[in-house]
């Protein structure tokens, strides 16, 4: 009888380890290339990657409702990760992670796996070099841009993080007035995604737009069709705040979920995502900036300007901390 019990116990031990040789990802990133990356991880480690995909809000509700099933929450924007941090745990502190990711792009609960810059696009035939000289995010509210600007809605997380950064650097009071100036300068009520803002400038509906860098590269690549590719060629990028703190940077990131059943495997996956192989795969498929040193962005991104000054002063953790303030000042200004 004792032998039978020992044999059954051994089977449970082996079976349990087999079940544990996996990692469960809840991902709001919508790239097929990410799945290819997870397949590479599995081939290297033998760890199976289970992926649940969806929009960030729905995934966050599901993670909470199904407590103890998710290991990693992967999403775009430090503001989202920061706002969800109560449901994340510490542990992303291995030497590999800390040496790969600058301190302003990580916490013990979540780390950046790729960077993105939120910049200005302009119509070269309607915007002069003199107008652009010394351009900052703050100066986008200058009356000279009245009726010339397009930007996404206030409920867009990228804008909320940008405004949160401005609040961190300038104070809430000044950003209240800035938000009013932005609304006054809008060529139309906010609508559409970042590509829609670039398309508006190309079509002559506005002279300048605010959008993330990878959107222009995506359009230039032809993956969104010949019409958008042609439109993208009509606009030029400009990196704001080069004489000051630098251009606003954000991340795609991975957060370690509380109660993660496969915590060790989750950490291994994050470390893999920060390897040179994985970083090259990311930048060449999503047009984001690499998180680690020694990896070049995609040529289409390099052509936009590689030697720009990044804002490495403002820790992205502030985007989540000041998200409510950002939405408050935008809403109060009538930013729809």
Residue-wise pLDDT for 176-185, tens only, equals: 999 999 999 9
- Predicted confidence (pLDDT) per residue in 27-73, tens digit: 999 889 999 999 999 999 999 999 999 999 999 999 999 988 999 99
Average pLDDT over residues 7-36: 68
> Which of 140, 122, 276, 267 minimizes the C-alpha distance to 204?
122
Task: Calculate the average pLDDT of the chain.
Answer: 93
C-alpha dihedral sign at 43, 275, 31, 227? negative
Average pLDDT over residues 92-107: 97
Q: How many residues does the chain have?
A: 336
The Cβ-side half-sphere exposure at 76, using a 13 Å CA radius, reads 23
pLDDT of residue 33: 93
> Which of 95, 135, 107 minimizes the C-alpha distance to 239?
135
Kindly indicate the confidence band of residue 9, based on its pLDDT and cuts at 50, 70 and 90: very low
Average pLDDT over residues 297-301: 96
The Cβ-side half-sphere exposure at 120, using a 13 Å CA radius, reads 27
Average pLDDT over residues 12-24: 59
- What does the block give as tokens for 312? 């490495």
Beta strands in the chain (DSSP E): 22-27, 48-53, 72-76, 110-122, 149-150, 208-212, 236-238, 249-256, 289-290
Please check whether the two domains, 2-115+250-294 and 117-248+311-332, share a CATH topology: yes
Largest Cα–Cα separation, the chain:
89
Q: Assess contact for 286 and 280: CB atoms under 8 A.
A: no
Domain boundaries, the chain: 2-115+250-294, 117-248+311-332
DSSP states of 96-141 = HHHHHS-GGGB-SSEEEEEEEEEEEEE-TTTS-HHHHTT--SGGGG
pLDDT of residue 15: 35
Buried b or exposed e, range 160-182, using 16+ CB within 10 angstroms: bbbbbbbbbbeeeeebbebbbbb
**The model's pTM:** 0.91
Kindly indicate the confidence band of residue 20, based on its pLDDT and cuts at 50, 70 and 90: low
Average pLDDT over residues 263-267: 98
> Which of 105, 154, 289 minimizes the C-alpha distance to 214?
289
CATH architecture, range 2-115+250-294: 3-Layer(aba) Sandwich (3.40)
Given a cut of 90, is residue 97 above it in pLDDT? yes
Given a cut of 90, is residue 11 above it in pLDDT? no
d(CA 114, CA 142): 32
Kindly indicate the confidence band of residue 19, based on its pLDDT and cuts at 50, 70 and 90: low
- Predicted confidence (pLDDT) per residue in 200-224, tens digit: 999 999 999 999 999 999 999 999 9
- Predicted confidence (pLDDT) per residue in 225-248, tens digit: 999 999 999 999 999 999 999 999
Homologous superfamily of 117-248+311-332 in CATH?
Periplasmic binding protein-like II (3.40.190.10)
d(CA 88, CA 91): 10
Average pLDDT over residues 97-112: 97
The residue ranking higher by pLDDT, 305 or 175, is 175
d(CA 21, CA 15): 10
Helix axes 276-286, 263-273, angle to 10 degrees: 70
Kindly indicate the confidence band of residue 306, based on its pLDDT and cuts at 50, 70 and 90: confident
């Amino acid at each position: 009888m004792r032998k039978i019990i020992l044999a059954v116990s051994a089977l449970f031990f082996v079976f349990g380890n087999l079940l544990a040789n996996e990692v469960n990802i809840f991902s709001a990133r919508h790239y097929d290339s990410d799945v290819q990356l997870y397949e590479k991880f599995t081939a290297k480690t033998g760890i199976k990657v289970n992926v649940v995909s969806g929009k960030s809000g729905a995934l966050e509700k599901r993670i909470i409702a199904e407590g103890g099933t998710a290991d990693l929450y992967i999403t775009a924007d430090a503001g989202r990760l920061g706002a969800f941090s109560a449901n994340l745990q510490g542990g992303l502190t291995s030497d590999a992670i800390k040496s790969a990711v600058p301190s302003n792009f990580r916490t013990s609960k979540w780390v950046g796996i790729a960077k993105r810059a939120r910049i200005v696009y302009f119509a070269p035939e309607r915007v002069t070099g003199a107008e652009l000289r010394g351009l900052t995010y703050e100066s986008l509210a200058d009356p000279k841009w009245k009726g010339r600007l397009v930007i996404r809605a206030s409920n867009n997380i990228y804008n909320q993080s940008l405004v949160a950064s401005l609040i961190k650097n300038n104070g809430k009071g000044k950003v209240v007035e800035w938000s009013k100036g932005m609304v006054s300068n809008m060529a139309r009520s906010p609508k559409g995604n970042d590509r829609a803002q670039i398309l508006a400038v190309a079509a002559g509906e506005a002279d300048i737009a605010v959008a993330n860098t990878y959107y222009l590269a995506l359009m230039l690549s032809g993956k969104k069709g010949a019409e958008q590719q042609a439109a993208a060629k009509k606009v030029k990028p400009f990196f704001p705040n080069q004489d000051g703190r630098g251009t606003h940077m954000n991340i795609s990131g991975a957060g370690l979920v509380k109660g993660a059943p496969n915590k060790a495997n989750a950490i291994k996956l994050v470390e893999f995502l920060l390897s040179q192989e994985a970083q090259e795969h990311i930048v060449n498929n999503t047009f984001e900036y690499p998180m680690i040193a020694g990896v070049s962005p995609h040529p289409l991104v390099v052509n936009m300007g590689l030697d720009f000054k990044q804002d490495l002063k403002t820790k992205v953790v502030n985007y989540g901390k000041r998200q409510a303030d950002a939405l408050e000042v935008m809403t109060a200004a009538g930013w729809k």
